[in-house]
Structure 1
Amino acid sequence: METVGARRTGIALTERQRIAWLRLIRSDNVGPVTFRDLINHCGSAENALAMLPELSARGGALRAIRIASVEEAERELEAVRRFGARFIGIGEPDYPPALRQIDGAPPLISVKGDLSIATRPSVGIVGSRNASIAGAKFAAMIARDCGRAGYSITSGLARGIDAAAHRASLDTGTIAVLAGGLDQPYPPENIPLLDEITEGAGLAISEMPFGWEPRARDFPRRNRLIAGISLGVVVVEAAERSGSLITARLATEFGRLVFAVPGSPLDPRCHGTNGLLKQGAIVTTSSADVLDMLSPISQIDPSQDFVVEEPDKSAAPLPPPDDDDRDRIISSLGPTPVDIDDIIRHTGLPAQWVYLVLLELDLAGRLYRHPGGMVSLVMQD
């Protein structure tokens, strides 16, 4: 097996920081983007937790924001440890380097298995749950060849193409991304496969709370992680309305390569992949098509762009916006998504103020965050 590059970099969280991070991401209205904004504004998770009530109240929250307690975080940490898993923060050495670089990367992931797999360059392989024999064999071939070349194989543990890719890379390294908590794999029929993955040269990853049963809306979140972990995503047999196409779209947004395997125009399972080819996906008829395109980019830059530290005290802080400036920012928003840079240009106010007011609205449950950094206001009756 060749070696493709990945260097471990980052700073380990202390136990106190890990608890604070877990509390913050488990609190109401705090997602990955809001988490990052809170750290940037407050300097640390502990400071952010202390400021949540004030920030959400300034955003117009109608009720007190629920903040996860120390006891809740400690219980989840202990449950994960008893399960043989652990939490990894976005700035820590074992966090997948490619995932770290996407917008909205989860600040904490729970993982179980061989941690050395997490930092290797990865190829995503996704496709139809109702796969044909030929499709499953082709996915397995790509997985085996990429695995022998030193890549891990990332997929979603689903039936069909996902399962074929995982099984073919059990010996070389595979990553199963779950839509629910680590202890709630789906579908149940693939639990034995997941056990093989975590007990061998593989890793299970989730951003969801331990014990969380996956719902329909959780699968696109899982697909975002598959696209984020991978340098390129290979789509094998995908219908026109398929979760695999969501993964491909996200991969494109993240600047990843998208490979599509052509199929018969008479087979509904291939309509989505053929459509990707019309949109510019890389035609894939052999493993060489994938390996040749990935080779120049397989050396991941693991530089850490998420640093948790106290803000620079030497710089004079900008005073907060007054009520009139807050109103100007809020009145520039509506139900139509707009780019944050456009809000800054439209209002003529400092970017720091705009981001602060958006953060307050977000914590109050009054802001929608859309793909590509767009935002809109939740219209209230």
Structure 2
Amino acid sequence: MDDAAHADRVDRLQLIRSANIGPVSYARLLKSHGSASSALKALPELARRGGPRAPRIADRQSVLDEMAMVAKLGAQYLFRDDPAYPVLLSELDDAPPVLICRGDLSLLERPTVAIVGARNASAASCRFARDLANDLGQKGVAVVSGLARGIDTAAHDGSINQGTIGVIAGGTDIYFPPENQKLQEAIADRGLLLSEQPPGTEPRARHFPYRNRIIAGLARGTVVVEAAPKSGSLITARLAGEAGRQVMAIPGSPIDPRSRGCNSLIRDGAVLIQCAEDVMELVRPFDERIEEARQSLHVKTPARSNDKGEPVRVPAVAKGDRHTVEALLSSTPVAIDELVRQTRMPLSDLQLALLELELSGRLTRSAGARVSLAPLN
């Protein structure tokens, strides 16, 4: 890698690690400014428009230290526009700008199916998940899950010898749950371990929904084996459905709380599956969709760039329009499409207003293109 390419990767990582920069705002800043370097120069002005707080741009030395730690762990960065970045994941509006990977990146080229479920799963369901993962692996499928206790662990155990992908909520050097340390290392050695968080990050409750959207985004379909109502597995299933992927579930006894989530999914339209061939029948049609997506990735639109060192000037939305948008927001997430309907603003102006609010810490983005007002500290 030449010096210019290395400097650009440092700039990108510095932008990603800066305060209030999420996947959507990162992608919009890169598109509008053409480079991470130009976007970093534009941040102060953009944030001032949205509120009084200036953005906390990540310290460049801390970014270099992170990169050194990633290399020491035997991991590597996979940026969203890298050729090896998974095609289906890149379709998400909030796809991770960068992943930290340990293991075999070629697994990302395989058909991928997610298997998720309850942490306190029954022995019978763990056996089913393990056998299903093994059977899918024998058919050339990479099985992705979240390395949690119960069904996730069973899915990884069943596919470890054929191809398994573990997505974790913390850094790749943090083991959670602690009893899965050996399994996590085995996945890094014989499969693929993925994380959105930098090394040393302890997993927090807020990290798990972000992990779940990666699991759902990687896969052609998600199989839920056991799940209680309002569980994280149902969040993954919902995100899979919103992304246009197959949602599959294993039925269970109506008197077992661990089966209620799956039974509810089937009632609401998820496909009941009983074996690996059922799954394969549902995910095979994605071959054509993935090939079309790969072709579209080769068509790039030139973006504006300003790397001359001077402050970057960017178009601003009218102050009244920004106040109108903020007045419509509350602590309850609302779809951006609904804001378009109510404000009647051009989508580009609305997106810029949301970006300015986000950079100033006034906006929180949720899955499914929803936004809400951030709580005041």
TM-score after normalising by structure 1: 0.88
Partner of 1:311: 304
| 1:355 paired residue among 351, 355, 361 | 351
- The number of residues matched between the two structures is 364
- 8 Å Cα contact 1:91/1:306 also seen in 2: no
Whole-Å separation in 2 of the counterparts to 1:318 and 1:48? 10
2:145 paired residue number: 155
Aligned to 2:22: 31
State the 1:305 CA deviation.
Answer: 8.4
Q: Please, which of 153, 163, 166 is the counterpart of residue 176 of structure 1?
A: 166
Q: Equivalent residue of 2:109, what SS?
A: coil
1:228 aligns with 2:217: yes
Whether the 8 Å contact between 2:33 and 2:305 is mirrored in structure 1 is: no
State the partner residue of 1:280.
269
Change over 3 Å in CA distance of 1:338–1:245 after alignment to 2:
closer
Report the CA distance between 1:304 and its aligned residue. 2.4
Change over 3 Å in CA distance of 1:83–1:308 after alignment to 2: farther
1:94 equivalent among 78, 84, 88? 84
Shift of the 143–319 alpha-carbon distance from structure 1 to 2, 3 Å rule, reads closer
CA contact (8 A) 2:32 2:303 kept: no
- Post-superposition Cα deviations, 1:153-187, rounded to whole Å, max 9, x if no partner, equal 00011112111111111121110000101111211
Q: 1:125 to 1:338 in 2, by over 3 A?
A: closer
Q: Which residues in structure 2 correspond to 1:1-381 (within 5 Å)? A: 14-61=5-52, 63-200=53-190, 202-299=191-288, 300=290, 301-302=293-294, 303-304=296-297, 310-311=303-304, 320-333=316-329, 337-378=333-374
Q: What amino acid does structure 1 have at the position aligned with 2:356? A: E
- Describe the shift of the 1:193–1:346 C-alpha distance in structure 2 as closer, same or farther (beyond 3 A): closer
Secondary structure of the corresponding residue to residue 368 of structure 2 = helix
Question: Which residue identity does 1:199 align to in structure 2?
Answer: D
Residue by residue over 1:103-126, the C-alpha shift from the partner in whole angstroms, topping out at 9 and shown as x without a partner, is 200000000001101222200001
Q: Give the match's secondary structure for 1:259.
A: strand
In the alignment, is the contact (CA less than 8 A) between 1:44 and 1:308 conserved in 2?
no
Judge conservation of contact 1:95–1:119 (CA < 8 Å) in 2: no
Distance in 1 (CA, whole Å) between partners of 2:112 and 2:229 is: 26
- CA shift for structure 1 position 379: 7.2
Which residue does 2:310 correspond to in 1?
none
Q: Is the 8 A contact 1:334 1:379 kept in 2?
A: no
Is the 8 Å Cα contact of residues 114 and 223 (structure 2) preserved in structure 1?
yes
Which has the larger helix fraction? 2
Partner Cα distance (2:68, 2:244) in 1:
37
Q: What SS is found at the alignment partner of 2:144?
A: strand
For 1:47 and 1:261, locate their aligned partners in 2 and report how far apart those are by CA, in whole Å: 50
Q: In structure 2, what is the Cα distance between the partners aligned to 1:235 and 1:343?
A: 33
| Structure 1: gaps of 5 or more residues | 1-12
- Structure 1 ranges of 4+ moved more than 6 A: none
Flag the 1:166–1:298 CA change in 2: closer, same or farther, 3 A. farther
Structure 2 distance, partners of 1:213, 1:336, is: 27
The whole-number CA distance in structure 1 between the counterparts of 2:374 and 2:153 is 40
Deviation, 1:354, is: 2.2
Contact 1:152–1:173, Cα closer than 8 Å, also in 2? yes
Q: CA RMSD in A?
A: 2.4
Deviation, 1:233, is: 0.6
Q: What amino acid is the match of 2:173?
A: D
Alpha-carbon offset, residue 267 of structure 1: 1.9
TM-score (norm 2): 0.89
1:368 Cα deviation (Å)?
Answer: 2.8
Aligned partner of residue 238 in structure 1, secondary structure: coil
Contact 1:59 / 1:364 at 8 angstroms: preserved in 2? yes
| CA positional deviation for 1:326 | 4.0
Structure 2: 5+ residue stretches without partners:
307-312
SS in 2 for 1:215: coil
Return the letter of the residue paired with 1:114. D
